[in-house]
């Protein structure tokens, strides 16, 4: 796992990008046959990936290339709070990183709209037993 070096300036810019990406996602007509591109569901962080839990939509560059990343608000202590394009496969341009960033937000927005993903992050900490992570909740909203 790579460590993302995200600055306060990245977060501030990312909040503006997130606002624009959400506005764009809201303009898409509802498609009951929607198929996501980003595919964060089924990952360890998927119970925490929801529109209401995105702090910032980071588009950043380092010496290797460009990245698009969701910075999450609430995750269990010690867990990563960033998910996005693969650190081993940086993107070649800012425009492509922006496109990926918008697709991540649009996918999540449309999945929530279609009832395929929760609209709120998992309410609590998971149990870790051996090499398995168990998410159990008494909250009927999740």
Cβ neighbours for 97, distance < 8 A, ≥ 6 positions apart: 59, 60, 61, 66, 67, 68, 85, 91
Q: What pLDDT, on the 0 to 100 scale, is given for residue 86?
A: 85
Residue 89 belongs to domain spanning: 8-134
Instruction: State the pairing for strand pair 65-72/54-62.
Output: antiparallel
Q: Is residue 88 part of a domain?
A: yes
Q: Is residue 107 part of a domain?
A: yes
Q: Is residue 142 part of a domain?
A: no
Q: Is residue 1 part of a domain?
A: no
Percent of the chain with pLDDT over 70: 85
Q: Is residue 3 part of a domain?
A: no
Q: Is residue 28 part of a domain?
A: yes
* Residue pLDDT, tens place only, 29-83: 877 777 766 566 666 778 889 999 999 999 999 999 999 999 999 988 888 899 8
**What is the pTM for the complete model shown?**
0.83
Q: What pLDDT, on the 0 to 100 scale, is given for residue 41?
A: 61
More confident residue, 109 or 124: 109
Q: Is residue 34 part of a domain?
A: yes
Q: Is residue 126 part of a domain?
A: yes
Total domain count, the chain: 1
């Amino acid at each position: 796992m790579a460590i993302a070096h995200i600055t306060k300036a990245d977060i501030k810019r990312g909040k503006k990008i997130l606002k624009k990406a959400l506005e764009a996602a809201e303009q898409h007509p509802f498609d009951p046959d929607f198929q996501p591109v980003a595919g964060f569901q089924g990952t360890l962080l998927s119970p925490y990936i929801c529109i209401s839990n995105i702090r910032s939509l980071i588009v950043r560059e380092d010496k290797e290339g460009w990245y698009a990343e969701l910075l999450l608000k609430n995750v269990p202590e010690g867990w990563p709070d960033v998910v996005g394009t693969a650190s081993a496969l940086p993107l070649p341009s800012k425009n492509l990183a922006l496109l990926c960033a918008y697709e991540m937000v649009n996918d999540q927005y449309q999945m929530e709209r279609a009832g395929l993903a929760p609209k709120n992050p998992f309410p609590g900490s998971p149990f870790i037993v051996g090499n398995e992570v168990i998410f159990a909740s008494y909250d009927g909203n999740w």
